[in-house]
Amino acid sequence: MTVARPIKLAILGGGPSAFYVASRLLQLLPTSHAHGEKLRVHIYDRLWAPHGLVRYGVAPDHPEVKNCTHKFDKAAEDARFRFFGNINVSNTPSAIPHAVNVNLELLYPHYSHILMASGCTMPKLHPAIPPSLICSPALSLVHWYTQHPTLPPPPPLEKLTHVTLIGHGNVSLDIARILLTEPSHLAQYDVPTHVLDKLVQSNIKHVSIVGRRGPLEASFTAKELREMMNLPTAYIVPIDTDLLAKPEGRSRELTRQQTRTLDLFKKGSKNAPGSTRKSWSIDFFRSPTGISPSPSPSSSRAHLSLAHTTLDTQSRSLPTGQTSSLSTDLVITSLGYHASPTDAWYDPALGHIRNVQGRVVDAAGEVMRNVYASGWAASGARGVLASTMMNAYAVADTILMDRFPGEGGRGLALAAGPVVPPTSVGVSNAGARELLNADPDLDLDGMPGEVEDAVKMGRVTQYGDWKRIDEEEVRRGQKLGKERERMGWEEAQKFIFERT
C-alpha cells in the first residue's frame, strides 16, 4: 500500500507563473489520487491583489491578455489552495509600507516545498542616463497608470511636449500608445480615474522611440507596431527607406516577424505626415551616452547625447564615432527587468535566481532540496504568457517527479500533456541540502504564527477577499462606463474588513 507523502508548497509571488504551477499541481493530484489529500498550495504575494504583471503590467487597452485570470480563479476554488496577499516573504523589508514582512526562514518548518515565482521586479538602468528628474524607468510610468501599490508619482504631463523612450520593445510602444491616445478612448478600459484626469492635462506633441540597433533587431511585435501605425490621433515621421532594405550580404532569410515589421514601416501610419497634432518617430542605430538639463533657466528641456551605432557580424551594436543630440522634456528608459537582489538565491551575474531546470542551487552549486524557481524569477524577463505557462507546467512536473520518483511521478506529468522537462544532467534533488520539513506528519494547514496574526488583524487579503474586491471594482467601473475602477490598499482593506 502506498503511503501518502505530503506536498505542502509555499509559492513566493502571485503572478501568472505562480498560478500556473498551482493549477497544474492541483490538476495532476486531485483529491481522488493517493497523494491528493496531502497536497496544499499556499501563494504569498507582497502585493495585496493577485496576478502580478497581469494586473500591474499589462497595458490597459489590452484587456484580452487578462483572460488567463479565469483559469487562476478556477484553481483558487480548490479547498487545498490558499492565497495570502500583502505579505512580503523576505529577509529584507518591502518598499511597500503596509506589507507584512515575514522572514523566509520562518516558512521552513511549515512547508515541504518552496517555489520562487517572484518575477523580475527591478528595471534595468542605463549606466549613461541614471534616474533623475529628467530620466525615469518605464516601470515607474507603468506602475503609475496601473495603480501599483508602490504608488510612483505621476509624470508632469502638463509640462511636457516631447518625450523620448529608450528601447525598442513592447513596453516602449505601450507607453508611447498610452501617451498619444486620446483619454476619452482610454476611459472605457481599466485606467484609474486619477490617471485619466492627468492624461487630460497632457501637452505631449511628440514621442521619440530610440534604440541602438536596427528594424530587424527590434523586439516589439508586429501587433504592437500595427497598433501604433493605426493610432487615430498621431502619425509616424517617415523612416529613411535605406534602413528598411534587407542588408546586403545577409545569409539568412528574414523571419516572418521581421518581414511584417519592415512591411509595416514601409506602409507607414494611417495618418499622413503633418495631418494630426501629435506625432511619433522611431530612431534606429542610436545609443545614449549622457543627458543634461538645458543651460537656459527658462527652458525645461534636456539634451540627450546619442552615439551613432552599427552592427557587427553577430548583430551586436558598435559605435561608429559619429554623435548627435536630441532635445526632449523627459527620457524614459525601457531596457528590460531583472529579479530583485533581495530574492533568496539571486545571482547578480544572471539577473535572476540560480537554478538548473527549475531546481534552485546555492552559490556553491549545491542543490537546495525541494526548492524550485519558475517564470521570470528563474529565467529572466523574457517570453510571453504562453511561454510562462509552459515553463510553469514543466517545473510543476519536476516537483512531482522529484517527490515521487518511484511512484509514477513522471507518468502523472506525461498523462497531463507533453511538457515534461528532460532530466537534469548532474543535478539531482535526491540527497541535496535539506532546508524544509520532510515530515510525513507535517501540519498541512499550519503556517507561521506571524502570518496567522496578520490574518486575524485584517492585514492580509485572501482569495475570497480578492473576488469581492474584484466584483466591486467591476461594479464601480460599470457605473462609469469602463472596465473597472480600481481600489488602493486602504480602500480595499476598509471594504473587506469593515464589512466582515
Domain ranges of the chain: 7-121+338-461, 125-335
Distance CA 113, CA 435 (A): 9
Whether 417 shows a pLDDT value over 90: the answer reads no
Query: Which is the CATH superfamily of the domain at 7-121+338-461?
Result: NAD(P)-binding Rossmann-like Domain (3.40.50.720)
Checking if the pLDDT of 496 tops 80, the result is yes
Kindly indicate the confidence band of residue 425, based on its pLDDT and cuts at 50, 70 and 90: very low
Tell whether residue 451 is among the known ligand binding residues. Answer: no
Q: What would the grid cell of residue 370 be?
A: 525541494
> What's the pLDDT tens digit per position in 441-484?
889 999 999 999 999 999 999 999 999 999 999 999 999 999 99
Q: Is 169 annotated as a binding residue?
A: yes
Amino acid identity at 454: A
> Given CA atoms 11, 63, 379, 74 in this order, what sign does their dihedral have?
positive
Average pLDDT over residues 215-240: 96
> Do residues 86 and 47 make contact, with C-beta atoms less than 8 angstroms apart?
yes
**C-alpha angle 33-37-43 in degrees, rounded to nearest 5:** 115
The amino acid at 430? A
User: What stretch of H or E contains 23?
Assistant: helix 16-28
Task: Dig out the grid coordinates for 312 from the structure.
Answer: 557587427
Distance CA 28, CA 415 (A): 8
Give the closest residue to 401 by CA, choosing from 362, 353, 357: 357
pLDDT at 409 over 60: no
Helices and strands (H, E) in the chain, number of each type: 15, 22
How much of the chain, in percent, has pLDDT values that exceed 90? 85
**pLDDT score, position 43:** 98
pTM summary value: 0.93
224 is in an annotated binding site: yes
263-302 residue pLDDT tens? 999 999 999 999 999 999 999 999 999 999 877 776 779 9
- Rounded CA-CA distance 133/416 in Å is 52
Mean pLDDT to the nearest integer, 159-187: 98
Among the listed ranges 360-364, 392-396, 427-431, which one has the minimum average pLDDT value?
427-431
Given a cut of 90, whether residue 377 has pLDDT beyond it is yes
What are the two backbone dihedrals, phi and then psi, of residue 234, each rounded to the nearest 5 degrees? -150, 160
Contact yes or no for 9/358 (Cβ under 8 A): no
**Residue 101 in marked binding region:** no
Q: Is 82 annotated as a binding residue?
A: no
CATH class of 125-335: alpha beta
Binding residue per annotation — 168? Answer: yes
**Cα Rg of the chain (Å, integer):** 24
Q: Does 17 show up as a binding residue in the annotation?
A: yes
DSSP one-letter code for 105:
G
Where do the H-state alpha helices sit in 241-369? 256-267
CA distance 230 to 236: 10
171 annotated as ligand-binding:
yes
